[in-house]
A and B are shown apart, each in its own frame.
Chain A
Amino acid sequence: MKLAIRLALALWLATAAAVALEIRIMVPPAGEVLLGEVEVVAEVIAERPPRFIELIVDGQSAGRLDRGPYRWIVDLGDRTAPHSLEVRGEDAEGRPSSSVLESPGVRVDSEIEVELVPLYVTVTRDGAAIETLERGDFTLLDDGRREKIVTFERGDVPLTAVLLLDVSESMQGRQLDGALAGVRAFIDGMQSLDQAMLLLFSDQVQRATPFTGFPELLRAGLEGVTAEGGTAVNDHLYLALELLAARRGRRVIVLLSDGLDSASVLAMKDVLSTGRRGSTLIYWLRLPLTAGQSFSSAWRGASEHRREMADLERAVRRSGGQIVTLGRIDEALVAFERILAELRGQYVLGYYPTVDRDDGSWHRVRVRVAQPGLEVRYRDGYVDD
């Protein structure tokens, strides 16, 4: 009997020691595909407060907390890949414990890779949006071949945007205030599935937020901004295009700048070669050049500056976006609102190209509408790769 009691006591002590710290991942639930911003919540059971509890995502630490509640938010990106979430910690005596959740990726059964080409089309008459067209009103040509429109959407297609704001020294004073007011208007108009990134630049990145659906994070990024430094429009337009290329969904860049580049390492032709590969819409809110602003720099003479400007204009138009020339910076707020309204009212035409060579060649796209007198804007082509 005494032996039994001693054995039971020893077993109880061993069990108590073994479960001095118990960790369970409560959110997200097991078996769920994880992508984008994900909240992780862990329940920790311990006799005494643990030394720390840490979240490890795909082998990298995402944060350590000394006390509960044990909650983190992490961005797992846009790809539906498997992920490993490990919550680990040490109890008061330094003994480790952990809990792991492996999330699945998405199985792809089909071996045929035929990519649906989305085309975002804006239709207006005298500047006013036309939102009453149907699928049959559109004719779509790819390298001259008529294509069948497989998907047809209009309205609230979520967007992923980079708000690319020039905060160089030429933006000092009221220019900056007006620009920030416009960006705030865009942020306020975002909807729950939209995501945006703030990218403030001068001769280099001055401030950048992650892509987020939290308007609060974007608004915080606009606080305390100062205008200083040179202007590198080309470099940062390229950066925005590349960051968007890794995202899914309807990709948009809204650029506010006078366009005069004095500090970029890339030429606009380098940026154009990138823009041709993606389906990013570029809107340019164009500021008039400041009186007395020099057109020449150590990098480009006046004629070369003009060529760069023309290349930027061409890039915007070919993307299916628009150049909005602001007479005064006060107009920025309304301009941002109108861009958002236009994006909400765009048609999205999806089709599978008849000829899909995957050879990096350029496909010229044409869209016609049945009704006369309408202005139709869309991306003029895509790279087949």
Chain B
Amino acid sequence: MKGRSVPVLVAALGLALQALGGPAAESGPEVMRLEAGRAVSVSSAALLMSGMSGGGLAVWPLAVALPSLGAEGRILVLLEVDLTSLPAAVEAPQLEAAVYALTASGEVVATTAVEFDLDSVAAVAGLQIAVGLTLPPGSYTLQTMVRERVSGAIGLAGRMLEVPSADPAGLAAWLLQPGASWIVGVADPAVVEELHAGPQIAAARPVLRSGDVAFARLLRLAGVGDRQRLEARIVSSDGTVLASVPATIAPGEPVGNGLQAHSVSLVVPDLPPGTYGLRLAPAGGVSGRESAEATFVVPVGSTGGMTAEGGPDTEGARVALPRSLRRVAAGYRDLLPSVAAGDLAAACDRLRALELAIRRGFGSGELRRFIRAEQDLIARIAREAPAALPALLLLHTPLLEQYHAAGAAVLEGYTVTTLERLARSLARRLEVPEDQRAAARALSIAGATLQRTGWHDASARVFASALALDGVTQVALLGAAASREKAEDYSAAVALLRTLVAAEPDAEEGRLRLALNLARIGKPARANEILRTLGGEAETEWISVLAFQELARQERPETPMQAEAVLRQGLARWPEEPGLLLQLAQLLEPEQTADATAALLQPVLRASRRGPSPRYHYNRWPRPPDDERGASAGQLALARWLERSKGTQ
């Protein structure tokens, strides 16, 4: 292998880690010294400048801006290559890796490139390439590329990077993973000291399971915040903080440049499968800077996939076909304890497998009898324990989405019917206010799913049931109004939204939807008044942007100059917002050259980095609430009913 390994350094770091009380020392990575400053090929430069991400080679970048008191920030960049994504024929990869730092306007301000050849990837657990950059404070896009020169396989990945101004309280943190059998190519020996901690190496995208003890490395300026307690904040892909867990910090050790490194450990909370961010921040509500986000993945469990024809995949549907429908009905009852215990995902998987097996293995007559048997049981629960019905709602609602995605039209339609029946039963039978409120929330989730899958009329009816139980459930009011809007019944939408705004005057989405529907029923003056306020003051970006867009559309026919002013006001608040730019370009087009219009629209090409568009947000269902309280109340009621009804059919 080309390069030079540094076993002494790795061993020293391993001893240091043991002293810090980290995990028991094991063999760490093999570190190869690389030379930076290689020139990238012409076509690679074009790929890096294009801003694209993707490619056949899976590359995960990690970019960390270190705390500094100087005029420039030191950035550690790690490219983690998934060796399984290398073409099978490549046994001795010859890799080229490059990093470009671009400003918001696309100007390249820093580049580095290395070459990294390996004799063999057999027995190599993973591969990382680590380089360093220096950048002044500001916002950048890091474009990274790894290319295998023989096969031509390419992996491109971009990351936004904030380089903070000199800040003594700055934190830099990243997650660690075992480094045994890993190869790390570094262009700067200081990088490996800073990124890795002996046997553990920095991880760009580690896989963590709920309950795991995760290790992280924290760098901060020496002597700053030594006694500060920190917590780990787990965030979803849209930035919502899902959980905060305590972080245990070991004493720091100096690592040069005035920095000290700490080993940090935390327990991963209970999370569903997905990709998450982790940030370290001062604990106990103390204000202070958070570290930049580190990414990790919670892997998918066995949920049983579905084929395009609507049948389960062979792994998911290991359900013995029942010999009689009496047994079939018992199959439904048999999964109710899982529902009562809160394991809705497992119960949903089993119910789907059961219904699909019956659909495929029996005739339509048997399916109808199964449906009747299932409905009879639901009706019995409705009579004897109506407070348990929300739990059944939460069992059937995900099925609707799964059947819709798989094109299983018959079972989708049946599930819609089940949801509507549950909604009617709930509206009729619940009397306790707390039960009613919990049911309203569960119905809102079902209504939102119905709307998302295109069942607008059914969603309107389910939302109506939710409102019958709790007339001021915000989600239900929004959902019912959205249903009416899509059915072009704008007056009904206005009535619902007026109720919402009267109860929640600060509800930005409610006010926005009210304004749009007021305009549709011929009340533009009132609509524009609301839109003007929302455009300038709404805290939620998509709401403010939409307000500016719709106000400009209202103004344009009579006063195009006013429309232009509105769009420019919007762009002043939300620079480079694609929809506003498109409207402005189209408005100005008769007076502008083709070059000027094309230049104005260039930021639209970078739109995907901003997230879903405002109009897409609006067209989607209202965000359903987290229904923990409602679900648990229904589950408790179901558990009690199951206990009471033991031994009965």
Contacts and interface: CB of A to CB of B under 8 A. Distances in A.
Interface stretch (B204-212, B215-223, B576-584): B576-584
Contact of A203 (B100, B488, B612): B612
A270 B612 CA distance: 23
B484 to A, nearest CB: 11
Contacts of A232: 613, 615
B595 interface: yes
B454 A65 contact: no
Interface string B120-158: 000000000000000000000000000000000010100
B604 A205 contact: yes
B407 interface: yes
A250 B527 CA distance: 45
Contacts of A13: none
Nearest to B595: A246
A70 interface: yes
Interface string A193-221: 00000010001111111101010110011
Interface string B89-127: 000000000001000000111111000000000000000
Given A66-B112, A71-B39, A224-B53, A298 B482 contact: yes
B619 A230 contact: yes
17 contacts: A63-B111, A66-B111, A71-B39, A71-B42, A73-B42, A73-B46, A204-B604, A204-B607, A204-B610, A220-B47, A230-B615, A235-B578, A242-B585, A242-B594, A294-B456, A296-B488, A298-B485
B43 A61 contact: no
A113 to B, nearest CB: 14
Given A296-B456, A301-B488, A265 B39 contact: no
Interface in B580-628: 582-583, 585-586, 589-590, 594-595, 597-598, 601, 604-608, 610, 612-613, 615-616, 618-620
A265 B579 contact: yes
B54 interface: yes
A296 B487 contact: yes
Given A73-B42, A73-B45, A204-B607, A266 B598 contact: no
Contacts of B409: 291-292
Contact of A39 (B42, B108, B604, B618): B42
Contacts of A238: 582, 586
Given A63-B111, A230-B615, 13 more contacts: A61-B107, A65-B39, A173-B308, A207-B53, A208-B51, A208-B605, A220-B54, A221-B52, A221-B54, A223-B154, A225-B54, A270-B586, A274-B589
B613 A62 contact: no
A209 B616 contact: no
B498 interface: no
Contact of A217 (B47, B107, B108, B607): B47
Interface string B288-300: 0000000000000
A169 to B, nearest CB: 10
Given A212-B46, A265-B579, A297 B39 contact: no
B616 A242 contact: no
A148 interface: no
Given A245-B594, A291-B407, A299-B615, A206 B37 contact: no
A371 B606 CA distance: 49
B616 A223 contact: no
B56 interface: yes
Contacts of A266: 582-583, 586
A173 to B, nearest CB: 7
B55 A220 contact: yes
A296 B45 contact: no
A179 interface: no
A216 B585 CA distance: 31
B500 to A, nearest CB: 16
A274 B605 contact: no
Contacts of B578: 204-205, 235
A73 B619 CA distance: 42
A39 B615 CA distance: 42
Contacts of A70: 39
Contacts of B605: 199, 205, 208, 239
A69 interface: yes
Contact of B54 (A67, A208, A224, A270): A224
B486 interface: yes
Interface of A: 39, 60-73, 79, 173-174, 199, 203-210, 212, 214, 216-217, 220-221, 223-225, 229-230, 232, 235, 238-239, 242-243, 245-246, 262-266, 270, 273-274, 291-294, 296-299, 301, 360
Residue from B39, B52, B156, B409 whose CB has the most chain A CB atoms within 10 Å: B52
- Listed from nearest, the 3 A-B pairs whose CB atoms lie closest are A224-B54, A67-B37, A66-B37
B549 interface: yes
Contacts of B607: 204-205
Contact of B109 (A61, A212, A217, A242): A61
Nearest to A49: B37
A223 B608 contact: no
B404 interface: yes
Contact of A296 (B112, B486, B583): B486
Contact of B38 (A67, A205, A214): A67
A65 B110 contact: no
B324 interface: no
Given A63-B111, A223-B154, A243-B598, A265 B583 contact: yes
Contacts of A264: 615
Nearest to B598: A246
Interface string B484-518: 01111000000000000000000000000000000
A62 B612 CA distance: 31
B586 A274 contact: yes
Contact of B454 (A72, A173, A270, A294): A294
Interface string B43-81: 101110111111110000000000000000000000000
B594 A63 contact: no
Contacts of B616: 203-204, 229-230, 262-263
B50 A221 contact: yes
A220 B156 contact: yes
B39 A69 contact: yes
Contact of A223 (B46, B56, B488): B56
